[in-house]
Amino acid sequence: MTKVFSSTNKAYLAGLLDGDGSIYVKAKPNPTYRYGFQIAPYIVFFQSNKNRKNFELIFSFLNLGIMRERKDGILEYTVNRKKSIIKLIESIKPFLILKRKQADLLIKILKKKEKVKNQKDFENLLKLIDIFRELNYSKKRKSYITP
């Protein structure tokens, strides 16, 4: 994010994220990881390809993620690196309304992930991820916690 990124731009991005964006984190099964799961956080902005020029202009200021076009003509700007996610959330959080709880929880998850030292710590991290999915009304909700 550039130094000249104004409060107006931050508020606009927060509104775009609240309306046409998503904040989520997944625990993807992956046997190559220490506890059998990869923790994958994302912030994604969506827009029709019809608005490509403006969408590219908005995100040229950020330089925190990658843009791709899906087969259905929707553009996605994805931020998935921990440092970039934290930087973006800290910048726009004062302006978030609908996704403020998700932003707070994602930061908490990223910080807790750094402190995982054993299986119990990792299970506690998965519990936070389960809470996150509740905030996002996931239709494919799958709990990683065994009762």
Residue 81 domain-assigned (yes or no): yes
The tokens describing 58, both together, are 């908005």
**144 to each of 19, 46, 71, 132, 147, how far by Cα in Å?**
28, 28, 31, 12, 10
* 10-49 tens-digit pLDDT: 999 999 999 999 999 999 999 999 999 999 999 999 999 9
This prediction's pTM: 0.84
Confidence grade of residue 68 (pLDDT, cut at 50, 70, 90): very high
Asked whether residue 26 is domain-assigned, the answer is: yes
User: What is the total count of domains within the chain?
Assistant: 1
Whether 142 is covered by a domain: the verdict is no
The answer to the question of residue 145 being in a domain is no
CATH code at position 122 = 3.10.28.10
Average pLDDT over residues 90-105: 96
- Which range marks the domain in which residue 47 is found? 7-135
> Is 147 domain-assigned?
no
Residue 129: pLDDT above 80? yes
77 in any annotated domain: yes
**What pLDDT, on the 0 to 100 scale, is given for residue 147?**
46
